[in-house]
Structure 1
C-alpha cells in the first residue's frame, strides 16, 4: 500500500505536473515550427530577409557580444526556429514588470541612501579613481559610500555561522534574511530554532529564499510552515511550469541584517556543506563579511527593495533604520571606506562586472581572486591578460574538486590563454572553493556573492561590498596567502595532458557559456 501511495504521489505530484506541462509547451512550440517549415519553400526569401533584419537588430543592441553570438548562430542556421525562439525571449513582459517594480522601490529608499558628502570628499582626497568608482556605484547601482563601519572577515563558513548565530541571538527589533539556498540540516535547524524563539519574543522576522529551493531542497508548502512559526517568509520568483525567460533571473544574494546596524554577506548559504558538516566535494572553502555601522543601512534597504517586488502595500522604510541610540563596542575600528552594492540583471547595468574590471585595470602590484567558476567573456579575458602582461601579479584560485563538470571543462578552456599571458592559476587541493573574493595592492577588496561567470555577472540578482583602505584587507590577503599554500599551480604541461575530448568539450561549451 505504501508503495502504491508513493507511486501516486510521484505520478500526481507537482514535479511530474511541471515536467509534463513544460514538455507540452515545448511540443506546441515545435509544432508551430514544423507547421511554418512546410511553407518555408514559398516564403524562403521572406524568412531570409527577416533573419537578416533580426541579426542586424541584434548586432546594434547594447549587449555583450557573447549573448549576440549565441542568438545569431541559431537564427542564421535555423531561421524559422531561431526567429521564433528569439521573439519568444524578447517579448517576455514579466521581467520588465519586475524591473519597474524594483525601480519604484529604489526611488522610495533613495531618501535613506543619500551620499554623505564629507565621506565622498575624504575619499576623493585619498584616491580620485576610487571616488569615481563610488560615484558610478551610486549613480547606477543606487548605493552610497560609507565611513564609520567596522568590517569583520570570515575565512571559512564555520566562523561566519558562529558570528551569525551570536548576532541573531542579540536581535531586539528585526531580522531580515535573504538566501539563495536553504536546505534542512544542522545549520538551518540551529538558525530556525533561534528565529522561532525570537519571533515569540516579538522580534519582526522576514525570511526570503530563492524559488529554486522548492525543486529539490524544500517542500512546496514550506513558506506556510515558517509562517506558522511566526516567521514572515516568502519565495522569490517561485518556479512555475511555464516556458519563460524571467525564471532564469535567480536571487543569488546572501544577506542577513539585524536591527539595521549589523549586516552579513558572502558566499555562505544555509546548508550543511557550507560549514563542512556535510562533505560533498572535499573541504568547502567559503568566505563572508560582517558590517557593523553606517554601511549596514544599504543592505537593509537592499533587502526591503527585493522583498517588496511582490508586495502591494506601501513599506515604511524609515522604521528599519538603525536605532540612533545604538553604540558600538569601543574596541571596534571604523577606519576606511565601505561601499555595499547590489546588481540587478534587469536594468542593463552590469555593476558587479564593472567593479571587478575596475580593480583589475587599476591594479599596480597584484590582483588576487578566489572564485568557484571561471566562465569569462572577451572583456574579462582581455583585462586579466593585460594586467599580467603589464607586470601585475595576477593570481586566480579555483577548485581542485569541482561541483559541476561542465563548468570545470569550460573554465579550463580559458586556462591556456590566461597562463600564456602570465596569469597564475592555482587549484585548491583540499576540495571546493566557493568564495567570491577580489583583493588588490593591499588597499582594495570585494567580498560578496558574485562569481566570475555569466550567470552572476549578467543573469542573477547579486550583492557585495567594496572595501577601500580598510584594515580588514590585511585579513583578506592573509587568508589568500594561507589558501594559496594549499593549492597546486596549473601549468601548460598539465593542460596538454588533458584528454582531447575534454579539451574539445570545453571549447564547444563556449557557445553556451552565456547560459552557464
Structure 2
C-alpha cells in the first residue's frame, strides 16, 4: 500500500496527470467549438496557414513531414497543436539572454592566428572544417593540447576519480544523468571533501534526465553540502514544448587543466556496476592543455544562463596548463545549441563523411538519421569508402531500435556495413575517418541530439587519440554481429511496420 501511495503521489505521476488533463481539456474545448461552422472554419484555415508556414520554413524536411501529416489528419486542432508544441520551447526573453551569453563566450574564446595558419598550410580541408566550427560554435582550434581516448566507461571513471582528487581551485560537472550508486556516491564524497577545503564545486544536471534517478529537490541537498547546483529546464506540470530542449552534454572540468566529455553519464550502468541491457559499451575523451578553456567557458555560459548571473570568466582561466609537450595534431572542443538555428553537430559529421577517402567508422546508440545523413553515408559507400556503423544489439528503447533497424536495408544496398554490438548496448558516440580525423562527444545520430538538445564534442585532426579511437572500434567490430539482408528478413513483420511508422514521426517523438 505504501509503495502504491508513493507512486500515485510521486512527482512523475502528478506532472503526468496534470499534463494529460490539460491536453484532454484542450481537445474537449476544440471539439465543442468545432460544432460551430465559423469556429470550425477558422481552425481549419489556421491549420492550412500553419502547413504553409512549415513548408516555407528552414527546418529539416523530415521535421516538416512529421508535423504536416497530423495537422492535415486533424485539421480542426492540428494547427493549434503545432503552435503550442512545434516551435522552439524557449521564449524570446530566454533566447535573447542566451545570445548575450554567447557574445560573452565569443569575447572569452579567441582563435590563435598562428594555429589557424599552421593548420591551413598543413591541410586546407581540415582548416575549413575547423573554421566552420570556430565560426558557428565560437570555439577555436588548438595545437598545444593533449587528448586521451577512454573506453570503456570504467576507464573514464577511474581516470576522472584521480583527477578530481587533484583539484585545487574548482570542479565543474555538467551531466544529463546523475544517479545515486557506486559511481556517483564515490564522486560525491570527493566533491564534499573538496568543497570543505574551499574548492569551488558546481554541478549542473538535466531535470528530465534525472527524473527517475534523483529525488525531487536534490539540488538543495547538494547546496547544503557546499556544492553549488543548477537544474536545467525543470519539469513543470504545464503542457509545453520546452520539455524537448534538454541539456544532453556530459562535461567535467578540473581547475581548467583537465576536461572530459563523451557518452558516459554518472550512473552505475555506464561502468557496468549494474546490468541493464547486457554489457554497456561507452567512451569518453580526456583533454589537457589550453583546449580545456573552451569547455570551461561552455560550462560557465550555461551556468550564467541558468543562474541569471554574470560571472567573470577570466578568473577561472589558468596561467599554466601544466602541459609541456605538444601533440602532433589539432584539438577543437565545440558545443551545439538548439537556439541558434545552426545544426553544428550534424554539419561536423557531414563534413567528415563528405571528405572521407578511405574509411568512416561510426559508433552510435541510435541510427535515426535524416535524409541528408542517409544520402551522405550512401554516397560515401558508393564511391568506395569503407563505411561501417556500430549500433546496439540489446536496445535501451525498443521504439528507437525499431527506427534504427528500419534504416538498415537502404544503407546495406549502398554498401554500408552495419554491426550490432552483440554483448549488449553500445552507447558510444564516435566518428573516426582516414586515420586523420575523429570526433568524440555526446551527439547521437538522431533528431533530438542534432536539433533539439544542447550537445558538445571534440573534433581532432592527427592527434594520437584518432588512432586510439580507430583501434578500439576495430577491436570491437570482431565481437559484433554483422548485419546482412538475411538478418533483416528475420525481423518480424510487425516490428518492420512499427519502425517505418515511427521513422516518419521520429523528429517529434
Alpha-carbon displacement from aligned partner over 1:460-483 (angstroms, at most 9, x marks no partner): 110000000112211111101111
Cα pair distance change 1:10/1:412, threshold 3 Å: closer
- Equivalent positions of 1:193-272 (< 5 A) are 193-272=189-268
Matched, 1:350 2:343: yes
- Equivalent positions of 1:52-201 (< 5 A) are 52-89=48-85, 94-201=90-197
**Contact 2:85–2:240, Cα closer than 8 Å, also in 1:** yes
Q: Which residue of 2 aligns with 1:463?
A: 456
**Contact 2:289–2:322, Cα closer than 8 Å, also in 1:** no
Decide which of 295, 300, 315 is 2:296's aligned counterpart. 300
**What is the number of equivalent residue pairs in this alignment?**
509
Q: Which residue of 1 aligns with 2:30?
A: 33
**Contact 1:123–1:130, Cα closer than 8 Å, also in 2:** yes
Decide which of 463, 482, 487 is 1:494's aligned counterpart. 487
Question: What SS does structure 1 have at the residue aligned with 2:286?
Answer: strand
Superposition deviation, residue 90 in structure 1:
5.4
Superposition deviation, residue 185 in structure 1:
0.4
Superposition deviation, residue 166 in structure 1:
0.7
Cα distance in 1 for partners of 2:63, 2:105 equals: 32
Cα distance in 1 for partners of 2:38, 2:47 equals: 16
Cα pair distance change 1:13/1:364, threshold 3 Å: closer
Cα pair distance change 1:245/1:391, threshold 3 Å: same
Question: What SS does structure 1 have at the residue aligned with 2:407?
Answer: helix
Cα pair distance change 1:256/1:20, threshold 3 Å: same
Cα distance in 1 for partners of 2:393, 2:8 equals: 40
Alpha-carbon displacement from aligned partner over 1:222-280 (angstroms, at most 9, x marks no partner): 11111111100121111111100012111100000011111100000000011111111
Question: What SS does structure 2 have at the residue aligned with 1:403?
Answer: coil
**Contact 1:36–1:80, Cα closer than 8 Å, also in 2:** no
Alpha-carbon displacement from aligned partner over 1:372-423 (angstroms, at most 9, x marks no partner): 1000111011000000000000000111111111111111111000001100
- Equivalent positions of 1:271-290 (< 5 A) are 271-290=267-286
Cα distance in 2 for partners of 1:313, 1:56 equals: 40
Alpha-carbon displacement from aligned partner over 1:487-511 (angstroms, at most 9, x marks no partner): 1110011111211111111111112
Superposition deviation, residue 326 in structure 1:
4.3
Decide which of 308, 312, 318 is 2:314's aligned counterpart. 318
Cα distance in 2 for partners of 1:91, 1:418 equals: 31
Cα distance in 2 for partners of 1:152, 1:411 equals: 30
Question: What SS does structure 2 have at the residue aligned with 1:340?
Answer: strand
**Contact 1:95–1:346, Cα closer than 8 Å, also in 2:** no
**Contact 1:134–1:339, Cα closer than 8 Å, also in 2:** yes
Cα distance in 2 for partners of 1:494, 1:276 equals: 28
Cα distance in 2 for partners of 1:364, 1:95 equals: 43
Deviating more after overlay: 193-202 vs 103-112: 103-112
Cα pair distance change 1:397/1:6, threshold 3 Å: closer
Cα distance in 1 for partners of 2:258, 2:449 equals: 25
Q: Which residue of 2 aligns with 1:449?
A: 442
Cα pair distance change 1:88/1:326, threshold 3 Å: closer
Superposition deviation, residue 49 in structure 1:
4.1
Cα pair distance change 1:413/1:222, threshold 3 Å: same
Matched, 1:363 2:359: no
**Contact 1:95–1:246, Cα closer than 8 Å, also in 2:** no
Q: Which residue of 2 aligns with 1:510?
A: 503
Cα distance in 2 for partners of 1:437, 1:133 equals: 17
**Contact 2:47–2:77, Cα closer than 8 Å, also in 1:** no
Superposition deviation, residue 42 in structure 1:
4.7
Cα distance in 2 for partners of 1:276, 1:8 equals: 32
Q: Which residue of 2 aligns with 1:23?
A: 20
Tell me the TM-score normalized by structure 2.
Answer: 0.97
Cα pair distance change 1:83/1:121, threshold 3 Å: same
Cα pair distance change 1:447/1:334, threshold 3 Å: same
Tell me the TM-score normalized by structure 1.
Answer: 0.95
Structure 1 residue runs without a partner (length 5+): none
Deviating more after overlay: 346-355 vs 10-19: 10-19
Cα distance in 2 for partners of 1:271, 1:418 equals: 33
**Contact 2:202–2:229, Cα closer than 8 Å, also in 1:** yes
Question: What SS does structure 2 have at the residue aligned with 1:144?
Answer: coil
Matched, 1:400 2:393: yes
Cα pair distance change 1:10/1:304, threshold 3 Å: same
**Contact 2:368–2:400, Cα closer than 8 Å, also in 1:** yes
Question: What SS does structure 2 have at the residue aligned with 1:450?
Answer: coil
Cα distance in 2 for partners of 1:458, 1:88 equals: 18
**Contact 1:214–1:220, Cα closer than 8 Å, also in 2:** no
